[in-house]
Chain A
Amino acid sequence: QKEVEQNSGPLSVPEGAIASLNCTYSDRGSQSFFWYRQYSGKSPELIMSIYSNGDKEDGRFTAQLNKASQYVSLLIRDSQPSDSATYLCAVNYSNYQLIWGAGTKLIIKP
């Protein structure tokens, strides 16, 4: 059974601090990893993709991938109240299969 695990939260972080979101996956053959943000009542919106071990930075967002530990994370620097949302981790297991975590609810406190 292919699984993607996320802590459901809520994760509460003060404004301006770093928010750290984590995701683990079960299949070592996975090649592609995605982070999505979802506001309440809206559809998921792509934030970042990562394919290679290490860090990938895009503005205030950094994705980190460790295939040996089957672990992918998302760091949000200088957290803003507008970052409050649910963050979904998705893992590509085959040519087309995307397996989704249940998401972590992030709350940024002003």
Chain B
Amino acid sequence: DTGVSQDPRHKITKRGQNVTFRCDPISEHNRLYWYRQTLGQGPEFLTYFQNEAQLEKSRLLSDRFSAERPKGSFSTLEIQRTEQGDSAMYLCASRDRGYGNTEAFFGQGTRLTVV
């Protein structure tokens, strides 16, 4: 399977714990996005990588959220000191190089539940 892969698919954690999610994009894609989605809403942008460079991070994102893409391949998203409001589906998407026009492909998502 050469699609976008996310791990884990589901995560239940206690409030205050740290969690880390992983995304493996389509191999030739240099652009990678993290989104958060809650019920009835569209994907909410969290951050964007072009190769290993984090070019944009949402102003809505608190300092508890951090993301890395150390070698321009896989990416991790860490949430520190989780809160119940962090419960959501976390989506990763990748796009091929090319000015703007290429389609984004999503992984299966990681559903986070903070109890």
Contact = CB atoms under 8 A, between A and B. Distances in A.
A45 B105 CA distance: 7
Given A43-B91, A43-B106, A46-B105, A96 B40 contact: no
Interface string B29-59: 0010100000011111100101000011000
B107 interface: yes
Given A44-B43, A88-B42, A100-B43, A94 B100 contact: yes
B101 interface: yes
A55 B68 CA distance: 40
Chain B interface main SS type: strand
Chain A, interface residues (CB within 8 Å), range: 20 to 34
DSSP class of A's interface residues: helix, strand, loop or mixed? loop
Interface in A76-105: 88, 90, 92, 94-98, 100-103
Interface of A: 4, 8, 31-32, 34, 41-46, 49, 51, 88, 90, 92, 94-98, 100-103
